[in-house]
Amino acid sequence: MIPELGNFALYIAFALSILLSIFPAIGVRQNNARLMAMAPNLSIGLFVFTLFSFSCLVYAFLTDDFTVVNVAQNSNSALPNQYKFAASFGSHEGSFLLWLLMQSGWLFAVAIMSKGLPVDMRTRILTVLGWVCVGFYAYIIISSNPFERTLPYFPVDGRDLNPLLQDIGMIIHPPLLYMGYVGLSVSFAFAIAALLSGNLDSTWAKWSRPWTAAAWAFLTLGITVGSWWAYSELGWGGWWFWDPVENASFMPWLVATALLHSLAVSEKRNAFKSWTVFLAIAAFSLSLLGTFLVRSGVIVSVHAFASDPERGIFILILLALVIGGSLLLYSLRAGNIKSFGKFSIFSRESMLWGNNVLLIAATMVVLMGTLLPLVHKEIGLGTISIGEPFFNQMFTYLIVPFALLLGIAPLVRWKQDKLNNFVTKPVVVIISSVVLTLLWLKVEFNDINLLAALGTCLAVWVVLFTLLELKQTSKKVSLFKLPLSHYSMSLGHIGLAFVIAGVALTSQYSVERDVKMNTGDSAELRGYQFTFDKIKNIEGPNYDGWAAVISVTKQDKPVATMLAEKRFYPVQRNTMTEAAIDDGFFRDIYISLGERLPDGAWALRLYVKPYVRWIWLGGIIVAFAGGLTLFDRRYRNKNVAKVTAQ
C-alpha cells in the first residue's frame, strides 16, 4: 500500500511540474498576476509530494518490503538500518528519486527565498526549473520507476546492498553530490530567465551568486567525501582515479568554479556578462552530461554492466532539449548582451579572465579524456584507453599558471593596475616560498623530490599571498568590518593550497610494501614498525571474516593498534577488504589485509601516506568558504529585496 502511495505522489508531482511549466509562463506573457502567483505554490507542492514519495521508498526499505523490485535487489533483512536507508538511493531508480527530491528541494528554496525578486523574473526562474522538472519526472515515471512491484512472486529475502556501498561515506556522499548537481540548475534557471527577459544587468549576477555558491559548496563537499570514501573503502589507498564517474562530477565543478569567479566580474564590473551566462548554461549541461554518461552505460561500459539503451535514449533526448535548447537560445540572444566595464591588460578582470581560461582548459582536458575513447571508437579508429598518466600530466601543467595567478590576483586592482607595483612582492614571495618549501621537505623527508617541491612551493605561494593581501586590506578596512565574501575568497584559496600541497606530497612521498606475515612477525616501513599480533574471526550483521590485529610502533613508542579486515558477504558472494587506517594530520598509516597463503601466513600491504588528509581538509575548507558567502550581508534576503525596491 505504502509503495503505491509513493508512486501516486510521484505522479502528482509530475502533474504539478507540467502545470508549473505552462501556466506561470502564460502569466508572464499576459502580465497576469494571478497566473504568475501560481508558480511558488506549485513549486512548494512539487517539493511536498516528492518528499512524501521519497519517504515511502525509505519506508519500504526500512520495513524490508521485498515485494518492491528495487528493495529486493538492493537490500536484505540482515542489513543494518542506516544502510537500509542508504540502499534506498543505492540503485539507479532510488538515486534518481533522491535526485528529484533535491531538485524539488532547490525549487522550494528558490520559491520561498526569492520574494525580493521582481515578480516576472521570479516566475520565469521557477518556470525554467519547472521545464527541467518535467523532463526528470517523466524519465523516472516512464523508465526508472522505483516502486515497481515483484508481485505475485516475491522473494523471501533481498539480494543485499553492494558491500562497497555499505559505508558511512555512501550515506552522505550521493546526497551532497546531487545537491551540487541539481543546485547548478538554479544558476542555469537564472541565466535562462535573464536571457528570456533580455534583462541582463549586474543585479542578475548579484541574485545568482549566492545560489551558485551554495550549489558549488555542496558539489565541493560531495567530491571531497567521494574521494575520502574511495580511499577508505576501496582498499588500495588511492584517493582519485580519473574514473568516468569521478570525471562526471569534476567537470561541473570546474565550470562552476569558473562561473563563481566570472559572476564576481559581472556583478562588480558589469563585464564578462555573455560569458557568464554561457558558463551558467555549461555548468548545468555538464551535470546532465555526467548523468547521461554514468547512467546510460555509454562510457561506464568499461565496467561491463548491462546497460539499458531505452534509458540512455531518454536521457539523450532530455540532454538534446535542455542543453540544445538553451545553447540555441544563447546563440540567438547573447548578441544583445552588452558589457560595459572596460579594463586594461593588467587588472583584476584580466586575472580572472586567466582563471576562467585555465579552468575551461582543465574542463576540456577532462571532457576529452572521458569522451575521446568513445569518439575514437565511433569513427572507427579502434579502442583506446586514456588513463591516469594523461590526466596527471595535464593537470600538473595547468596547476602551475593557475596557482601563480591565483596568488597575485586578489592584490591586483579592478579595471587597471600598475605592473610596476608587482615586481618586488612576487620576487620576495617566490623566494620565501622556495626557501620554506625546501626547508619543509628537508626536515620532513630528508629528500627533495622535484614535483613535490613544485606543488608545495605553489601552495606556500598561494598562502603567503593570501595573508599578504589580508594584511594590505587591513590597512584600509578593519578586518572585523571586511565583508564575509572577502574572507570566503581568502579561505577558499587557502583551502586550495592545502589540496595542492596534499596532492603533491602524498603522491610523491607515499611508500608501500607488500609483506607476508605470520603471527609475531614484524616489518618496517619509513621508521614505523608493524607487528602482526594475531588474527581473529569477526562476525558482522550481514558478513563474517577475518581481522588482523597489527600494532604499530615508532622508535619503540606505540603509535596505534590497527584492525585490518577481510569480510565475506554471503548474500552477494562478495569479498571486501576493509583497510585499517590510522589517520593523522601529517600522515596516514594504511594497512590492507590480502590473502591467506597456504602455509597459514597472510599477505598484507602496508602504506605510509604523508599529508593525504590535507586533500580532504582542503576540500572541506573550500566548501566551507563557499558556504560562508551565503551569510554575506549583501546577499541576505532583506537586502536583495532592498536592491530591487530601489
Partner 1 sequence: MTKKINFRFLPLVVFVLLLGFLLKGLFSDPSERDSALIGKSFPQFELPDLNSNNKMHTPETLLTEPVLVNVWGTWCTTCKYELPFLTKLANEYDVKIVGLYYDQNHAPEFGEYADIPTIRVEVKEMLARLGNPYQYNILDLDRSLSLDLGVTGAPESFLIDANGIVRMHHMGDVNERIWREKLAPVWNEISQ
Task: Tell me how far, at minimum, the Cβ of 568 lies from partner 1, in Å.
Answer: 11
- DSSP code string of 276-317: HHHHHHHHHHHHHHHHHHHHHSTTGGGG-----HHHHHHHHH
Which residue number, 115 or 342, has a Cβ lying nearer to partner 1?
Answer: 342
Interacting residues with partner 1 between 383 and 402 (CB under 8 A) = 383, 387, 389-390
- Separation CA 611–CA 250 (nearest Å): 22
Name the one range near partner 1 by CB under 8 A: 69-77, 81-89, 278-286, 530-538: 278-286
Closest CA to 455 of 529, 516, 381, 506: 506
419 touching partner 1, by CB under 8 A: no
Give the nearer residue to partner 1 in terms of CB position, either 234 or 430.
Answer: 234
- Is the Cβ of residue 172 or residue 374 nearer to partner 1 in the bound state? 374
Question: Which is nearer to partner 1, 53 or 274 (by Cβ)?
Answer: 274
CB of 427 to partner 1, least distance (A): 36
Q: Is omega for the bond preceding 152 within 30 degrees of 0, making it cis? A: yes
Of the residues 1, 306, 345, 443, which one makes contact with partner 1 according to CB under 8 A: 306
The one among 114, 247, 296, 363 contacting partner 1 by CB under 8 A: 296
What radius of gyration, in Å, describes the C-alpha atoms of the chain? 26
Q: Is the Cβ of residue 40 or residue 135 nearer to partner 1 in the bound state?
A: 135
How many Cβ atoms sit within 10 Å of the Cβ of residue 408? 20
Residue 516, phi then psi, degrees to nearest 5? -110, 125
* Beta-carbon count within 10 A of 114 CB: 22
Nearest approach, Cβ of 549 to partner 1 (angstroms)? 23
Number of Cβ within a 10 Å radius of residue 582:
17
Cα 577 from chain centroid (whole Å): 26
The CB-of-340 to partner 1 minimum distance in angstroms stands at 17
Q: Whole-angstrom Cα distance, residue 484 to residue 630? A: 9
User: Please, which of residues 574-613 interact with partner 1 by CB under 8 A?
Assistant: 575, 595, 597-598
How many residues bind to partner 1 according to rule CB under 8 A? 43
Query: Residue 334, interface with partner 1 (CB under 8 A)?
Result: yes
Residue that is written with C-alpha cell 602524498 in the block: 506
Identify which of residues 211 and 292 has a Cβ nearer to partner 1 in the complex.
292
195 binds partner 1, rule: CB under 8 A: no
Residue 396's CB is within 10 A of a number of other CB atoms, namely: 15
Q: Where are the alpha helices (DSSP H) in 144-243?
A: 168-197, 202-233
Strands 544-554 and 557-569, by their bridges, are: antiparallel
Estimate to the nearest angstrom the gap between the alpha carbon of 219 and the chain centroid: 3
Beta sheet of 544-554, edge-to-edge order:
522-525, 528-539, 544-554, 557-569, 574-578
CA distance 148 to 412: 59
Query: Considering only residues 26, 33, 142, 313, which one is a binding residue for partner 1 as defined by CB under 8 A?
Result: 313
From candidates 324, 541, 558, 570, binder to partner 1 by CB under 8 A? 324
Q: What is the footprint of partner 1 within residues 550-579 (CB under 8 A)? A: 575
**Could you tell me the three cell numbers for 72?**
529486493
Q: Of the ranges 70-78, 90-98, 185-193, 319-327, which one interacts with partner 1 (CB under 8 A)?
A: 319-327
Pick from 303, 342, 536, 642: which binds partner 1 (CB under 8 A)?
303
Contact region with partner 1 (CB under 8 A), list: 301-309, 420-428, 542-550, 632-640:
301-309
Query: Which residues of this protein are in contact with partner 1, per CB under 8 A?
Result: 274, 278, 282, 285, 292, 296-299, 301-304, 306-307, 309, 312-313, 316, 319-320, 323-324, 327-328, 330-331, 334-335, 371, 374-375, 377-378, 382-383, 387, 389-390, 575, 595, 597-598
